[in-house]
């Protein structure tokens, strides 16, 4: 019969294939754990229903039956038996559906009961990057960064979501489900990582040309590492000692770069694009598009539109000899 | 037998022999020759054929767009098309499939088949019918021309604000999308009204409510869903147009508007929309299951009741498209429950069909094959829908390829497979010729294998984190193999459609002649010639059973007494279908076409200037005056 391979192949595929650094079935935190457990429960029950239904269908088709008869003639006995079977199937459906609703509601209550944790972030979705603001009771300890979020392992982190232009959706599947960032509103989502590691996320609501390259990285690390990182981020950028980098800084400060980007500790104070104070310390540039290397930075500033067509960073005329120092400078902003 | 007794002075069908009656009626009900004749026709079969053809044409266009997307996604960071074109193409694909194929195809079949199945001579409001077709065609061509001129809409088939709003989508692209909705709305509502009136008032005498064919029930319920849901999307798209063109701020949060309002309005339509696509398909499935299992439907009443409850419930689920927008949790749970609830009536339908097959003597011809394919695919899609109905699970899979997989399982499984079955089933009625069984089997197997290969892996890519509506993805994401499989599957699926197209064309020319009732089916459309004459039936059948042709194998009883020299229909009562009145049916007219042209000018004009609403309105009014100008003939007022 056709059923068996049809069923087993996809399930085996699903089981073997779903790991990865952005996978809902490779959970690394309590929320995603609960969600993947819920998924497997649903899959088991619904898979059984599908198999049973299709088996019934195939039996119905293959059954041997009486020779040709009048299509309008029905036998009361058969009719009654079929009514009973169909009613039982309907009753089973009702029960399954109700229990699934209850299971789902239970999970939902646990998952979405969030409190203010020790760490609260405000994340703003922008076309096509994420602005990340770490909040703190003391204003001096708040700071802004972009596209890379560090969190301490084993702690709940509350993320408030806003949108600067259009709707985006914050989604790091191995930590939790997604939540939309909607202009004019603030939503909240809680995440927690159980193991140190790097988890990738991505905008999940279509937001324009570069929706595909609106990634984000979550770095979960020990509390100590996190504190070290945070202190580093709070600090302003250090002035470079390397002469090439100094030259690059000069280029930066005299070009339109400063209209959009901020580098704390310098005169660059633009707010509409990602904060670059510590851009060299982040793993990716272009919202998860390219690993942060000198070459990639250079490629990006030569022509961002070639790498990420439609991105809101214009092509800036630079002399060929300005590019290398600029890249060195940005890379040095650790 | 019943006698409707026309006036004494008129020539009546009782006065004539069969052959002469047929010839005379054909003259009375026929369509004039030549181009003007073709454009003025009000014959529901001619218009229905055009409707079906056009909807399938748009299915092919949408399919081509899908193939381009799939080629782009075959490899990571593929450079075949860039984000601009990709966004236009997926928007055109979704828009075409939902508005230019999904909604119209069900109505198109209703236009052709409902009058035949209820045993009448034309659809109610036949001129409106002609008008609605032209408006639909114009709206579809308009967006596709806009697309070819590089002004194709690019904000997705649901065009969420603010992405589609004036600040983020300058230019005319989204305006063409919004106006296309208006075209679809006008034509969709018109057909819905025609179907409702035809089913309520023009059923053959004796066709009481419980003798209405299941397909006709499906189309009737569908028409009601359309009437109640389409106005919501027109509200949404009209408000969007106003935000864009005349500077209102309905959806602009900076000015006190609300971006979520749009989503509520859109999905209040958008959810019933998927049932607008699915319910007619249940009608095809019922018809095919009954004919090919050679047994009357098991559970006629539960089948009808579950269609009705699906219709009602479909209006209570829209929020499940918005579970990740941060709604209050309690409200969201309510919509979980209601979304899961709809599985119950759908389940009832599936069980009843299986029971019918169980007790029947299935004949494995191509239409039944497609229905079997439908069971495999649609049930899987329905079950993954239950996952989406769960708020917590939805937060993981919403807006990912898992959802793309889910809705193609329900849309292609629930609509396209039954549609292919329906075309194989009714093709002999439409053309008088049978389609090739051999090609039909190829068609089915290629479609079935191709479909599953294309869409099953998408469940996995979605769970692995791939969002939908991305024009590319990075190699390190680990999605490449699955995407390549999907692309190969999509190509196989496309080949199956080429086979289908070839089969239709070749069979229309050379297929074996069908005769009146090639499948030995039970419903009235098979009681007349294939293709049916302009008058549909020489004498109006008198119905005494749900499957009239199975009950009366020798000769159908008929109701007589209608006039022969003028277009006359029997109007019957709503529930008992007792013959009530003789009513005249409108003659052909060119005015519906002119009115449709005027409407098109007004709609397209208003994309460029709001004043078009004013002068375009006048233009339309002028054509309507022509349309309704009283003739001397007292009866010609419809
Ligand atoms: C050849 C068959 C088809 C293929 C290969 C196909 C493929 C696709 C793909 C790959 C997408 C996702 C685009 C993206 O997220 O970037 C998509 C979206 C979609 N498809 Fe299909 N599709 C097919 C047929 C259909 C049919 C028959 C329907 C409806 C009756 C349909 C309705 C939709 C809708 C509504 C969308 C969403 C568009 C949007 O996100 O705005 N498709 N399709
Ligand atoms: Cu986004």
**Six-digit token string for A133:** 């603001």
Contact with chain A for residue B549, Cβ under 8 A: no
B83 interfaces chain A, CB cutoff of 8 Å = yes
pLDDT beyond 90 at A113: no
The C-alpha atoms of residue A189 and residue A200 are separated, in whole angstroms, by: 16
How far off is chain A from B277, nearest CA to CA, in Å? 22
pLDDT of residue B553: 82
* Number of residues that this document lists for chain B: 638
Give yes or no for B333 touching A (CB within 8 A).
Answer: yes
In this prediction the pTM is 0.93
Mean of pLDDT over chain B: 92
Closest CA in chain B for residue A185:
B253
- CB-based pocket (< 6 A), ligand 1: B 63, 66, 69-70, 90-91, 93-94, 97-98, 101-102, 156-157, 404, 408, 411-412, 415-416, 454, 468-469, 490, 493-494
Q: Are strands A284-285 and B540-541 parallel, antiparallel or unpaired?
A: unpaired
Gap from B413 CA to chain A (nearest CA, Å): 14
Helix orientation angle between A30-62 and A76-111, rounded to the nearest 10 degrees: 170
Probe residue for ligand 1, chosen from B61, B87, B94 as the CB with the greatest number of ligand atoms within 8 Å: B94
Asked if the model's pLDDT at residue A2 lies above 80, the reply is no
Atom of ligand 1 nearest to the CA of B63: 1
pLDDT at residue A12 is higher than 60: no
* Residue with more model confidence, B299 or B11: B299
User: Which A residues in the span 164-223 are in contact with B, Cβ-Cβ below 8 Å?
Assistant: 165-167, 169, 171, 173, 176-180, 182-185, 187-188, 200, 202-212
Q: Distance between CA atoms of B342 and A104, rounded to whole angstroms?
A: 16
Residue range B491-531, pLDDT digits in tens: 999 999 999 999 999 999 999 999 999 999 999 999 999 99
Q: How far is A26 from chain B (nearest CA, A)?
A: 8
pLDDT tens string B605-628: 999 988 898 999 999 999 999 898
Residue B5 has pLDDT above 60, yes or no: no
Nearest CA in chain A to B82: A309
% of chain A residues with pLDDT over 90:
75
Q: Above 80 in pLDDT, residue A18?
A: no
For the segment B367-402, what is each residue's pLDDT rounded down to a tens digit? 999 999 999 999 999 999 999 999 999 999 999 999
The answer to whether residue A118 neighbours chain B at the CB level (below 8 Å) is no
- Which of A77, A174, A184, A309 has the most B C-beta neighbours within 10 Å, making it the best mutation to test the interface with B? A184
pLDDT band at residue A116, thresholds of 50, 70 and 90? low
The interface pTM score, or ipTM, of the predicted complex is 0.92
- B324 vs A177: CB contact, 8 Å cut-off? yes
- Scanning chain A, the segments in alpha helix (DSSP H) are 3-17, 30-62, 76-111, 223-234, 243-254, 257-260, 294-302, 304-307, 320-332
**DSSP-derived secondary structure for B11-50:** -BGGGS-HHHHHHHHHHHH---SHHHHHHH---HHHHHHH
Place of tokens 């049809």: A6
Peptide bond into B531 cis (omega under 30): yes
Distance A45 CA to ligand 1 centre (A): 28
For testing contact with chain A, the best of B463, B479, B554 (most A CBs within 10 A): B463
Spell B574-605 as b/e; 16+ CB within 10 A means b: eeebebeebebbbbbbbbbbbbbbbbbbbbbb
Q: What's the CA-to-centroid distance between B386 and ligand 2, angstroms? A: 27
Residues of chain A contacting residue B155, judged by C-beta atoms under 8 Å apart? 206
pLDDT value for B459? 96
Q: Residue length, chain A?
A: 334
DSSP state of A172: -
**Would you call B133 an interface residue with chain A, using a CB distance cutoff of 8 Å?**
no
Is the pLDDT higher at B476 or at B409?
B409
Residues B12-52: tens digit of each pLDDT: 887 788 889 999 999 999 998 899 999 999 999 999 999 99
Across the A:B interface, residue pairs with CB atoms under 8 Å apart total: 260
A chain contacts of residue B471, beta-carbon cutoff 8 Å: 211-212
C-alpha B252: how far from chain center: 34
pLDDT for position A8:
43
Q: What is the A129 CA–ligand 2 centroid distance (Å)?
A: 7
Ligand nearest to the CA of A201: 2
- The rounded distance, in Å, linking the Cα atoms of A193 and B144 is 48
Residue B634 confidence (pLDDT): 52
């Amino acid at each position: 019969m056709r059923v068996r391979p049809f069923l087993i192949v996809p399930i085996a595929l699903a089981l073997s294939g779903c790991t990865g650094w952005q996978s809902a079935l490779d959970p690394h935190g309590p929320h995603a754990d609960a969600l993947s457990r819920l998924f497997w429960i649903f899959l088991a029950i619904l898979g059984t229903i599908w198999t049973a239904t299709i088996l019934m269908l195939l039996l119905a088709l293959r059954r041997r039956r009486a020779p040709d008869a009048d299509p309008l003639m029905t036998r009361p006995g058969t009719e009654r038996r079929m009514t009973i079977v169909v009613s039982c199937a309907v009753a089973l459906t009702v029960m399954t559906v109700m229990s699934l609703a209850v299971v789902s509601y239970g999970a939902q209550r646990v998952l979405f009961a969030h409190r203010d944790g020790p760490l609260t972030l405000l994340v703003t979705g922008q076309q096509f990057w994420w602005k990340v603001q770490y909040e703190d009771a003391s204003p001096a300890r708040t700071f802004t960064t972009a596209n890379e979020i560090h969190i301490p392992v084993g702690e709940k982190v509350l993320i408030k979501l806003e949108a600067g232009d259009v709707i985006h959706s914050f989604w790091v599947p191995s930590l939790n489900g997604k939540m939309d960032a909607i202009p004019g509103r603030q939503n909240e989502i809680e995440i927690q990582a159980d193991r140190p590691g790097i988890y990738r996320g991505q905008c999940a609501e279509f937001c324009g040309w570069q929706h595909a390259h609106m990634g984000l990285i979550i770095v979960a690390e020990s509390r100590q590492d996190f504190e070290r990182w945070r202190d580093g981020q709070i600090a302003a950028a250090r002035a470079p000692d390397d002469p090439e980098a100094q030259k690059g800084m000069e280029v930066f400060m005299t070009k339109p770069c400063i209209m959009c980007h901020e580098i704390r500790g310098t005169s660059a104070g633009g707010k509409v694009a990602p904060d670059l104070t510590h851009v060299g310390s982040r793993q990716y540039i272009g919202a998860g598009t390219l690993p942060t290397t000198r070459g990639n930075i250079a490629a990006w500033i030569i022509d961002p539109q070639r790498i990420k067509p439609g991105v809101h960073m214009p092509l800036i005329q630079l002399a060929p000899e300005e590019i290398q120092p600029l890249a060195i400078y940005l890379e040095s902003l650790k | 037998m019943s006698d409707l007794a026309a006036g004494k002075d008129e020539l009546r069908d009782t006065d004539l022999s069969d052959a002469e009656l047929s010839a005379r009626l054909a003259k009375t009900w026929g369509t004039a020759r030549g181009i003007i004749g073709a454009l003025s026709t009000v014959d529901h079969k001619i218009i229905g054929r055009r409707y079906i053809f056009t909807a399938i044409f748009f299915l092919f266009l949408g399919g081509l767009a899908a193939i381009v997307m799939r080629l782009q996604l075959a490899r990571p960071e593929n450079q075949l098309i860039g984000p601009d074109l990709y966004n236009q193409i997926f928007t055109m694909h979704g828009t075409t499939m939902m508005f230019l194929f999904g909604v119209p195809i069900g109505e198109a079949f209703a236009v052709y088949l409902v009058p035949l199945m209820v045993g009448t001579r034309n659809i109610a409001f036949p001129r409106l019918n002609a008008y609605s077709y032209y408006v639909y065609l114009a709206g579809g061509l308009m967006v596709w021309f806009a697309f070819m001129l590089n002004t194709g809409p690019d904000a997705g088939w649901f065009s969420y604000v603010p992405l589609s709003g004036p600040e983020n989508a300058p230019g005319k692209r989204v305006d063409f999308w919004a106006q296309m909705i208006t075209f679809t709305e006008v034509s969709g509502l018109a057909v819905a009204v025609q179907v409702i009136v035809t089913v309520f008032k023009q059923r053959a005498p004796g066709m009481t409510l419980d003798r209405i064919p299941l397909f006709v029930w499906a189309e009737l319920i569908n028409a009601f869903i359309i009437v109640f849901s389409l106005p919501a999307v027109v509200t949404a798209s009209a408000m969007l147009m106003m935000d864009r063109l005349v500077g209102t701020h309905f959806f602009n949060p900076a000015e006190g508007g609300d971006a979520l309002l749009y989503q509520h309005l859109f999905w209040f339509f958008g959810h019933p929309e998927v049932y607008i696509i699915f319910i007619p398909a249940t009608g095809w499935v019922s018809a095919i299951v009954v004919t090919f299992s050679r047994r009357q439907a098991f559970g006629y009443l539960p089948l009808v009741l579950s269609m009705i409850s699906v219709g009602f419930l479909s209006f209570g689920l829209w929020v499940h498209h918005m579970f990740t927008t941060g709604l209050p949790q309690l409200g969201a749970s309510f919509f979980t429950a209601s979304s899961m609830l709809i599985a119950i009536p759908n389940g009832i339908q599936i069980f009843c069909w299986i029971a019918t097959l169980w007790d029947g003597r299935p004949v494995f011809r191509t239409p039944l094959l497609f229905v079997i394919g439908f069971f495999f695919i649609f049930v899987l899609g329905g079950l993954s829908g239950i996952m989406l109905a769960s708020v917590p699970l939805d937060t993981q899979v919403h807006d990912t390829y898992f959802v793309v997989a889910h809705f193609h399982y329900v849309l292609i499984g629930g609509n396209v497979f039954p549609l292919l079955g329906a075309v194989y089933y009714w093709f002999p009625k439409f053309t008088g010729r049978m389609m090739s069984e051999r090609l039909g089997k190829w068609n089915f197997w290629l479609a079935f294998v191709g479909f599953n290969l294309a869409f099953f892996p998408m469940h996995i890519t979605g769970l692995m984190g791939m969002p939908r509506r991305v024009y590319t993805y990075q190699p390190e994401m680990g999605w490449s193999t699955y995407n390549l499989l999907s692309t190969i599957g999509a190509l196989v699926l496309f080949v199956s459609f080429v086979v289908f197209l070839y089969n239709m064309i070749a069979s229309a020319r050379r297929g074996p002649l069908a005769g009146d009732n090639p499948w030995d089916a039970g419903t009235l459309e098979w009681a007349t010639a294939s293709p049916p004459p302009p008058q549909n039936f020489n004498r109006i059948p008198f119905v005494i059973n749900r499957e009239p042709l199975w009950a009366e194998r020798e000769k159908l009883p008929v109701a007589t007494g209608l006039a022969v020299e003028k277009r006359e229909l029997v109007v019957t009562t709503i529930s008992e279908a007792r013959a009530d009145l003789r009513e005249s049916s409108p003659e052909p007219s060119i005015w519906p076409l002119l009115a449709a042209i005027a409407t098109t000018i007004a709609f397209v004009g208003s994309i460029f200037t709001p004043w078009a609403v004013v002068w375009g309105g006048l233009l339309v009014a002028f054509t309507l005056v022509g349309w309704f100008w009283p003739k001397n003939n007292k009866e010609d007022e419809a």
